[in-house]
Structure formats: C-alpha cells, structure tokens
C-alpha cells in the first residue's frame, strides 16, 4: 500500500494509470525474474481490476465508453452493507466494459514489465539491499530509485479525438505570502522560595 505524501481531493488519469502499473509490478517482476508467476500477486491483481473497473464505469476514463457512469449503487446503509453495483446496462455494453478493463490492465502490466526491464540493475541492487537489511525505509529506497530510468511519458488524453489538448499551459499560481504568527511567550511559573517559618 502506498501512503500519500499529501492530501489529494482528486486523482488524475495518469496517476490512476501509475497506480495500475505499480499494482502489477509484483506480477511483472515474477515473470521477468522467475519466468513463472505465483499466486502472491492475487491481491494486487484484485485491486488493479477494481481500479480499472472504476476508471471505466465511474470516472469516464476510456474513449470507448466516455464520460458516463455505469451501474447503480445498491447500498443498504440501514443494514450496514454495500451489495456492490447493480448493472443497469446491456450485455453489449457489459462486453465493452470488460474489454476496456482488460485493455487498461494489459497496458499497465506491459508498462510495469518494461519499466522493470529498463531498470533491472536497480531492481537487483534493491534485492541485495533487502537481503542485507530485510527492511528499507523511505529514504533508503529513494537513494536506490534516484537512478531509475523514466519510461516514455503518456500522450495527453482528453477522451476524444475531437477534443485536442491545448498548447497553452495552465495559469501560474502566484506564491502565497506566508504571514508568520508572532511568537507568544508563556508566563514562566516560579517555585516559591522555602519560607523561613518552617
């Protein structure tokens, strides 16, 4: 599980695609190193499939289906249960949904594999570190990952060939002026001096 460094209210399509590739990295590593996948990645595959399904049916992140939410929630909050999604679309759309999910998963799986191939030396270096220390903290992983070769960036995506991305960059947000609160000194309590009467 990846813990975010900051709070996010929305996640971009590329960030979700990164999560998919990350989720399938374990399976891709097994294929690359051992040439024989195991059941160890089953939870990662389940999470990746759920994320891909959400990208297709809830977030409108495929061209084939577009910005349409598919499936009605069948919540029963008074019973404390969520029975999942109720399908409210045809068999042909269901086939298209399955096809789009598979395409997202296959692309992410290939991307994860390609990244590992391009960075095999770094992967092996990390394995040796883990064999030596058993656990690596975030800073130690960052040192190893500084040498990671980037993959080709994904093209801009708008969801349609008719919506061409703009060449104009977003508006630059000016740096906010930080006003520091004045330091308030707390009164210091002093112990009473022992009285002479005792």
Q: What pLDDT is stored for residue 78 in this prediction?
A: 52
Distances in whole angstroms, Cα of residue 175 to Cα of each of 38, 172, 178, 182: 49, 9, 9, 21
- Output Rg (C-alpha) for the chain, integer angstroms: 26
> Angle of helix 91-118 relative to helix 42-57, nearest 10 degrees?
130
| CATH label, 13-118, candidates 2.60.40.10, 3.40.50.970, 1.20.58.760, 3.90.1150.10 | 1.20.58.760
Q: Give the pTM.
A: 0.74
CA distance 17 to 56: 12
**153-198 pLDDT, tens digit each:** 888 888 888 989 888 988 888 887 555 666 777 777 777 766 655 5
Residue with tokens 């590992």, as numbered in its chain: 116
Domain ranges for the chain, please list them: 13-118, 119-151
What is the end-to-end Cα distance of the chain in Å, rounded?
Answer: 65
Distances in whole angstroms, Cα of residue 30 to Cα of each of 24, 26, 35, 110, 112: 10, 6, 6, 13, 11
pLDDT at 119 > cutoff 90: yes
Q: What pLDDT is stored for residue 82 in this prediction?
A: 47
Pairing of strands 72-76, 81-86: antiparallel
Task: List the single range of 9-18, 43-52, 71-80, 106-115 with lowest mean pLDDT.
Answer: 71-80
Q: How many CB atoms are located within 10 Å of the residue 46 CB?
A: 11
**Helices of type H across the chain:** 13-23, 25-34, 42-57, 91-118, 120-133, 138-145
Which tokens go with 180?
């520091």
């Amino acid at each position: 599980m990846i813990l975010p460094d900051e709070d996010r209210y929305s996640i971009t399509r590329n960030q979700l695609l990164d999560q998919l590739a990350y989720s399938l990295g374990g399976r891709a590593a097994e294929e690359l190193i051992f040439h024989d996948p195991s059941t160890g990645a089953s939870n990662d595959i389940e999470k990746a499939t759920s994320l891909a399904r959400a990208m297709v049916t809830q977030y409108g992140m495929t061209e084939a289906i577009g910005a349409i939410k598919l499936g009605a929630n069948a919540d029963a909050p008074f019973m404390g249960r969520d029975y999942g999604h109720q399908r409210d679309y045809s068999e042909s759309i269901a086939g298209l949904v399955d096809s789009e999910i598979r395409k997202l998963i296959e692309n992410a799986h290939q991307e994860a594999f390609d990244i590992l191939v391009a960075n095999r030396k770094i992967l092996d270096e990390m394995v040796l570190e883990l064999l030596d220390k058993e656990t690596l903290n975030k800073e130690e992983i960052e040192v190893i990952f500084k040498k990671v070769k980037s993959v080709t960036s994904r093209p801009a995506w708008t969801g349609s060939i008719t919506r061409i991305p703009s060449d104009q960059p977003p508006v630059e947000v000016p740096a906010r002026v930080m006003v520091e609160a004045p330091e308030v000194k707390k009164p210091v309590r002093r112990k009473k001096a022992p009285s002479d009467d005792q």
